[in-house]
Amino acid sequence: MWNQALPILLGFVLTTIVGGLFASILQQRSWHYQNEQRLREDDINRASNVCRSLSALVDKRSYRMQRLLWATLAHANGQLARDVLDARLQEYDQVLLEWNDERNARLAIVGAYFGRDVRDFLDRVVYEASKDAGEHLESLYRASVDRQNSSLDPASVAETRTKLDDLNNLAYQLSFTMMVRIREGRVGRRAPAVLDETAARDDQNDAARKLDVVGAPWLGTLPQDAPR
């Protein structure tokens, strides 16, 4: 009888152990999958918030600059009072403070959720183009309020308009790239070339070689998946 019971007992023990082990493995895999999905959703939600806030800020600065340009041209033509022009300048100054506040923190969070190339595009292309356009715009403003100038230099006006148009295009490129990566889930831990805690800042020339170069005469680097 013992010889007959032993195979049954061993089969029961092995089935119990193997079955329990298999169930444990399935449970762990299910937990890892659920946890991965939760982390992915968290990354997408946080990246979406970053995209919205950054896009709104870039658009806000671009529009305030455009309003100041319109006011500057109108004032130079005698169609707008000085106090209205100064009000437009004050609005522009307010967004400049917001633009420069937490700049490094903004770059860090963009790099963490969208990758090194988008961070560098924001830092070395969008920020620099904004600064360049701002300098031209402020030069026009000073010429407009100078009593000795009866009219503005047409070439300077045209160049400033071109730089503001370029900035609008860059703002679109930046927002579109971030939205595409959110749609495809390539954000956070899945972002291309995501920054780690010890990542050092690359030299600008080295970073430019790593990125896909586009024919933008002012700086010329866009993220690889930016719309052409």
Query: How many other C-beta atoms are found inside a 10 Å radius of the C-beta of residue 106?
Result: 20
Report d(CA 189, CA 40) in Å as an integer.
Answer: 8
pTM higher than 0.75, yes or no? no
Closest CA to 118 of 45, 222, 47: 222
Task: Sketch the domain layout of the chain as residue ranges.
Answer: 2-222
pLDDT tens, position by position, 17-55: 666 666 666 566 665 656 566 667 888 899 999 999 999
Closest CA to 187 of 195, 103, 213: 195
With b for 16 or more beta-carbon neighbours within 10 A and e for fewer, the 132-169 pattern comes to ebbebbbbbbebbeeeeeeebeeeebeebbebbebbbe
What is the average per-residue pLDDT within 72-85?
90
User: What is the model's pLDDT at position 89?
Assistant: 95
Residue with tokens 């403003």: 141
Closest CA to 111 of 219, 199, 209, 226: 199
Q: Which amino acid is at 200?
A: A
Region of poorest pLDDT, from 52-66, 123-137, 190-204: 190-204
What is the average per-residue pLDDT within 149-166?
89
What is the average per-residue pLDDT within 95-110?
92
Give me the percent of the chain exceeding a pLDDT of 90.
54
Query: How many other C-beta atoms are found inside a 10 Å radius of the C-beta of residue 40?
Result: 15
What is the average per-residue pLDDT within 160-183?
94
Evaluate if residue 217 carries a pLDDT over 60: no
User: What is the model's pLDDT at position 189?
Assistant: 83
